[in-house]
Amino acid sequence: MTVITYWLTEHPSIVNFRWSPTQSYAATWSFLFTAVSFYVMSAVTLHLLLLLVILPLCHRRRGFSLGFIPALHSLTVSIISAVIFVGILLSAAAEIRDTRWLWRRTRTTTLQWFLCFPVGTRASGRVFFWSYLFYLSRYLHLFRTFFSVIRRRKLSFFQLINQSSLLCISFLWLEYSQSFQVAAILLTTVSYAVVYGYRFWTEIGLRGACFPFVVNCQAILLGCMAVCHVGVLCIHLVKRGGCNGIGAWLFNSVLNAVISLLYLKFYCKTRSMRTTKAKHTTT
């Protein structure tokens, strides 16, 4: 346990980490905008090529099989998410241990720190190192869109908006040392570890759940996020000085609200389709 704690919390690269556009990879606005634009244009171009050129030439109605690649991707994302979850959890405990004596001045509790960083917090240290790794891992999630296009000939507007928004949100967490990110990363990574682990399980041919497991996990995650956002707002209004990065948090909240509305629409559509299918099967 001591060795794990050292490599996840006490290694010099973690303790001395500092978010910087000149020292951190992919840490500039230009890189972010270029990456998001390239992702959207590539997904749309691939979808149109498959739909209008490649599939008609091959006389295929279905997409192409990618073999073991999606399963390997799911396993990789699940493992990375689990490592980030453990890393930021241990790092948060270490930060609380090392800085608790400073909290007496601002009367900050552990729960408040998880949701609301004190004003003046800089993006450096253990917690922000794992936030940076979470940001980089978001680029790995983008491949799911291309898998969906190639395998199912399906390009979802919700998927494009969701992936692009989450990438921008994780960048804002670091750029503005935004409050709420510790709780958000903990909730998100544990959800991803379970969801992508389940996807790996089903993609290697094992039996899945008898209910929409992934959809329900995502619904639970969005519900927990909404509760945390309310908590951040309450603490910001009550706490003297407010929370750090509250402007970025407001933008984050708007994006999350859009994602939640789109997901709610998708969730209702999925439930309706399953209910209709069940009725036809019974009949």
Q: What is the pLDDT of residues 4-49, one digit of tens each?
A: 889 999 999 999 999 998 889 999 999 999 999 999 999 999 998 8
Residue 130 in tokens: 């794992």
| Nearest of 167, 174, 135 to residue 36 by alpha carbon | 167
- Please give the Cα distance from 261 to 264 (Å, whole number): 5
Query: What single DSSP character describes residue 6?
Result: I
- Please give the Cα distance from 148 to 11 (Å, whole number): 38
Q: What pLDDT is stored for residue 275 in this prediction? A: 66
Cβ pair 99, 125 in contact under 8 A: no
| Nearest of 187, 195, 212 to residue 141 by alpha carbon | 195
- Please give the Cα distance from 170 to 151 (Å, whole number): 28
Neighbouring residues of 130: CB distance < 8 A, sequence distance ≥ 6: 14, 84, 87, 88, 91, 185
Average pLDDT on 84-103 reads 86
Cβ pair 85, 79 in contact under 8 A: no
Average pLDDT on 227-246 reads 88
Q: What pLDDT is stored for residue 274 in this prediction? A: 65
The upper half-sphere exposure of residue 232, i.e. CA atoms within 13 Å in the direction of its Cβ, equals 28
Cβ pair 92, 182 in contact under 8 A: yes
The band of 66, judged by pLDDT with boundaries at 50, 70 and 90, is confident
- Please give the Cα distance from 201 to 212 (Å, whole number): 14
| Nearest of 140, 137, 145 to residue 40 by alpha carbon | 145
- Please give the Cα distance from 44 to 21 (Å, whole number): 30
Q: Is the pTM of this model over 0.85?
A: yes
148-171 confidence digits (pLDDT tens): 998 877 888 888 988 999 999 999
Percent of the chain with pLDDT over 70: 90
